[in-house]
């Protein structure tokens, strides 16, 4: 579905997270756009340390103090042995800057994770994320970031028009979170 929507477009560059789920998605898209994705560790999702792969219930039971801090005010820095907010922001910003420097002209396709997209969006609006993600990012959605007159502009977020309703998932009630799967 996503590959079909992007088929026929020409891309100056094509990059993906090297984590399994994103990389496999990129390979499928690559067949439609006739390009091989270049994997980049810098496009990985935030590393959640001891919370990695656990449900919110498991995290709350094993790390009650850290989870209570997270619930009160989400912040990557409360995650035990996680990557942390500043490191995540810096990594994503450096990846985006490097890719944009390599491709001053033309469209560039990135297949990555919701957290990486959130960091990119927060950077454009001039606000740190700290773990609070106000944008809904659906799996296999399209977020469009454009460079206009030397500045970045958000052209669209969470476009899922190409998905069948059966594959569109809800993120649950407000405040519900699941630690991500790093594929």
* CA–CA separation, 111 and 14 (whole Å): 8
What percent of the chain is predicted at pLDDT more than 70?
90
Sequence ranges of the domains in the chain = 2-47+84-167, 48-82
Q: Which CATH class is domain 2-47+84-167?
A: alpha beta
Residue 113 near residue 19 (C-beta atoms within 8 A): yes
Q: What is the pLDDT of residue 168?
A: 60
Q: What is the pLDDT of residue 173?
A: 37
Judging by beta carbons within 10 Å of its beta carbon (0-12, 13-18, 19+), is residue 112 exposed, middle or buried?
Answer: buried
Q: Which parts of the chain register pLDDT below 70? A: 132, 166-183
Q: For the segment 25-37, what is each residue's pLDDT rounded down to a tens digit?
A: 999 999 999 999 9
Q: What is the pLDDT of residue 104?
A: 86
Q: For the segment 100-130, what is each residue's pLDDT rounded down to a tens digit?
A: 899 988 899 999 999 999 999 999 988 877 7
- Reported for 2-8, long-range contacts at CB under 8 A and 24+ positions apart, including other chains, are 2/28, 2/29, 2/140, 2/142, 2/162, 2/163, 3/28, 3/29, 3/31, 3/32, 3/33, 4/32, 4/162, 5/142, 5/161, 5/162, 6/32, 6/33, 6/109, 7/32, 7/33
């Amino acid at each position: 579905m996503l590959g079909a929507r992007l088929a026929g477009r020409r891309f100056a560059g094509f990059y993906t997270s090297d984590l399994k789920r994103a990389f496999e998605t990129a390979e499928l898209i690559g067949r439609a756009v006739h390009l091989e994705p270049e994997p980049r560790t810098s496009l990985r999702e935030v590393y959640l340390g001891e919370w990695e792969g656990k449900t919110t219930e498991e995290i709350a039971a094993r790390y009650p103090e850290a989870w209570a801090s997270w619930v009160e005010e989400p912040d990557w820095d409360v995650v035990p042995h996680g990557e942390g907010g500043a490191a995540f922001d810096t990594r994503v910003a450096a990846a985006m800057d490097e890719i944009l420097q390599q491709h001053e002209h033309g469209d560039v396709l990135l297949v990555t994770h919701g957290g990486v997209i959130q960091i990119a969006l927060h950077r454009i609006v001039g606000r740190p994320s700290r773990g609070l993600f106000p944008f809904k990012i659906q799996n296999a959605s399209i977020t469009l970031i454009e460079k206009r007159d030397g500045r970045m502009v958000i052209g669209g977020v969470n476009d899922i028009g190409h998905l069948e309703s059966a594959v569109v998932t809800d993120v649950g009630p407000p405040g519900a979170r699941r630690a991500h799967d790093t594929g």
